[in-house]
């Protein structure tokens, strides 16, 4: 007869690790202007989950590798990764725990070639001994790519620990795991309409060309309708589009540099039916997030753009003049349980479009009265 203790000490030999990308499976990035030197950017978050029955060591640096398949089916290899992070990058994940890494992808022109670069996103976390870790893919072109992430363990043999059993360290046979493919479209934007289109969905940046700022003596915020988005449904499907924390604004100055920004929220609202707009086949919708403008105590001009979830993006503009704005539209969920303002009850909304689209920049000008 086998005792309960002997059963408990038998460790599983399966390297059960899950890796996923939190970004929707469709990502659309417009080709930036070569003459103006702009950069198109999109963010990814890679999640690794430990589904085994014991704690395991992990390291993103040197173990996480992106792979891209070109429109012609050929795999594109990145240049040798830049890795300046030391051995302290290793961390442990307990049973059922997850670890995440924020990454930023940049699309830009370099030496007359279109370049796709993925770097660690230091906006969320920057350890003191971190300089840079990046992968660069050169000579990209228009078309549909497939992006996936490969996780190669630190070693083929990993020392694992069962938290339920004392002194139970054993070697586990590790193997490579990978994410599903993500469809990455590099598209030429329409300069006439400031729009990008993919699979029958067209997204266009709208902006007020000239914005008159309030008097410097004013202590109040003035409501504005600075920028928004127009979405055209050129498919045969009836589709809802979510505006509940799905529009992420980006503003650059006349030289192409991002202006200083931050985000704040002191409460989170629940999604309502009004946050989901239906676009019937052949129709379009227009959405402008709430916004305001004011002077702060340091006499800096501040733009406020709401996210429809109770939060606000703040942009501090150093001077009057010309700027450009665009949006990252990011929605993960094709179903939503929302509050119906008419009935006061919960309601299920289906057929919600999912994907990530970076819209083109549109210029606007700030001037005094």
- Is pLDDT at 337 greater than 50 in this prediction? yes
- Is pLDDT at 193 greater than 60 in this prediction? yes
pLDDT score, position 171 = 65
pLDDT score, position 251 = 94
Give percent of the chain with pLDDT exceeding 90. 44
Q: Which of 20-24, 58-62, 221-225, 272-276 has the lowest mean pLDDT?
A: 58-62
Domain residues of the chain, as ranges? 13-185, 191-367
pLDDT score, position 83 = 56
More confident residue, 119 or 323: 323
- Is pLDDT at 130 greater than 80 in this prediction? no
pLDDT score, position 15 = 62
Q: What is the mean pLDDT of residues 85-101?
A: 74
pLDDT score, position 161 = 60
- Is pLDDT at 60 greater than 80 in this prediction? no
At 62, is the pLDDT very low, low, confident or very high (cuts 50, 70, 90)?
confident
Buried b (16+ CB within 10 A) or exposed e, 57-66: ebbbbebbbb
pLDDT score, position 125 = 47
The distance of Cα 361 from the centroid of its chain, to the nearest Å, equals 17
Tens of pLDDT, residues 223-256:
888 999 999 999 999 999 999 999 999 999 988 8
Tens of pLDDT, residues 19-37:
888 888 899 999 998 877 7
Tens of pLDDT, residues 285-305:
999 999 999 888 777 889 999
Length of the chain: 369
- Is pLDDT at 67 greater than 80 in this prediction? yes
- Is pLDDT at 5 greater than 60 in this prediction? no
pLDDT score, position 11 = 41
More confident residue, 94 or 240: 240
At 101, is the pLDDT very low, low, confident or very high (cuts 50, 70, 90)?
confident
Q: What is the mean pLDDT of residues 96-102?
A: 85
């Amino acid at each position: 007869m086998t005792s309960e203790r002997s059963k408990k000490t038998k460790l599983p030999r399966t390297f059960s690790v899950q890796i996923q990308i939190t970004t929707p499976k469709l990502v659309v990035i417009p080709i930036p202007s070569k003459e103006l030197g702009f950069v198109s950017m999109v963010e990814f978050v890679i999640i690794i989950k430990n589904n085994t029955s014991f704690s395991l060591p992990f390291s993103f640096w040197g173990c996480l590798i992106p792979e891209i398949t070109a429109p012609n089916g050929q795999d594109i290899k990145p240049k040798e990764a830049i890795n300046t992070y030391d051995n302290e990058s290793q961390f442990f994940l307990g049973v059922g725990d997850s670890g995440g890494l924020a990454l930023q992808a940049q699309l830009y022109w370099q030496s007359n070639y279109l370049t796709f670069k993925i770097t660690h996103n230091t906006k969320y976390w920057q350890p003191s001994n971190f300089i840079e870790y990046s992968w660069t893919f050169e000579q990209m072109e228009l078309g549909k790519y497939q992006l996936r992430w490969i996780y190669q363990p630190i070693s083929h043999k990993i020392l694992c620990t069962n938290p339920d059993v004392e002194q139970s360290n054993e070697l586990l046979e590790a193997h490579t795991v990978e994410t599903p493919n993500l469809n990455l479209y590099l598209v030429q934007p329409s300069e006439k309409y400031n729009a990008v289109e993919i699979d029958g969905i067209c997204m266009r940046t709208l902006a007020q060309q000239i914005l008159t700022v309030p008097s410097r003596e004013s202590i109040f915020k003035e409501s504005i309708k600075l920028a928004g988005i127009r979405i055209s449904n050129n498919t045969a499907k009836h589709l809802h589009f979510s505006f509940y924390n799905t529009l992420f604004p980006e503003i650059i100055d006349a030289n192409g540099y991002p202006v200083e920004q931050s985000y704040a929220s002191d409460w989170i609202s629940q999604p309502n039916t009004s946050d989901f707009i239906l676009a019937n086949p052949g129709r379009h919708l227009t959405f402008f997030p709430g916004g305001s403008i004011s002077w702060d105590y340091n006499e800096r001009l501040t733009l406020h753009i709401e996210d429809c979830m109770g939060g606000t993006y703040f942009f501090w503009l150093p001077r009057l003049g010309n700027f450009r704005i665009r949006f990252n539209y990011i929605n993960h969920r094709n179903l939503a349980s929302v509050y119906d303002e008419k009935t006061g009850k919960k309601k299920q909304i289906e057929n919600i479009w999912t994907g990530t689209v970076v819209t083109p920049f549109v210029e606007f000008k700030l001037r005094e009265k």
